[in-house]
Structure 1
Amino acid sequence: MMNKEGLDPHFLHAWLAARSLARGLPMPLPDHGGLRVDTGSDMETVRWVFPRMADGLKALARTIHQPRQFVKVCETSEALRAALPTHWTIHAPSYVMRANGIMPRRQLPDGYSIAFEQSGAVTSVRIATDTGALAASG
């Protein structure tokens, strides 16, 4: 899915669409050669995600002057820094997760429990400790 030219744009669109569906967000829209999701949260109002470095990303970055608007690209932090205006802040990297094939089922260690919740096409999974603390979710 990832090669020297970035991430497959169709895979990225599918991943973002599933993320939007799972989080109750609007579907991603094409914008500046990437995809835009209007997240509307207190932490992030909008995010643009690009499968690779593109001129549209550089042009977009020059027009953004409000906080909580994020630009993400499937590229190194150094490449992103070189494309952005100097006043931008680079956050720690995050990753597009994927699996090849069927995920194996494993037994949880003692002291953990798992709960599934189905809502339409979305299945949520939560793993908690025996004290109720969230250990993982997806």
Structure 2
Amino acid sequence: MLRKNHNPRGEDMKTIVPIHNAVNEKAWEGVLWWEAGMGSEKCGGPRLSSFTGRPKDRTPKAWVMALLGYSAPFDRHDWIVDRCGHQIRYVIDFYTGKHDPNSPGRMAFHLDVRPALDDWEGLRTRWAGWWR
């Protein structure tokens, strides 16, 4: 947070850390959905190799959706996932969700997690996911 010039108070971290963890868990669930049946079971499952936050960069999909009048994401991450030695890049757009008036205090966010179309493996993963 300091790197991004955010200076939260210590007591705020009790709120921020669980939200951050919940968002990351939701993103990993999305990765696991795409990775199911793609072959990483034979080496213990997919593993996160690295990630990069790119809050100022829009994905092509987010750019088009914003042109169509939808809200732009508030953040973006690129995660590199190791699938038995093959690196797959995942793109994650983070959107603010609609608050449910019946659930006050509940987090409202939406994640668009998908394999990047960098290579044939990303394309194959995306294609396979469309048919599930």
**Structure with greater proportional helix content:** 2
| TM-score scaled by length of structure 2 | 0.24
| TM-score scaled by length of structure 1 | 0.24
Which is bigger in relative contact order (C-alpha 8 A, separation at least 6)?
Answer: 2
The higher radius of gyration belongs to 1
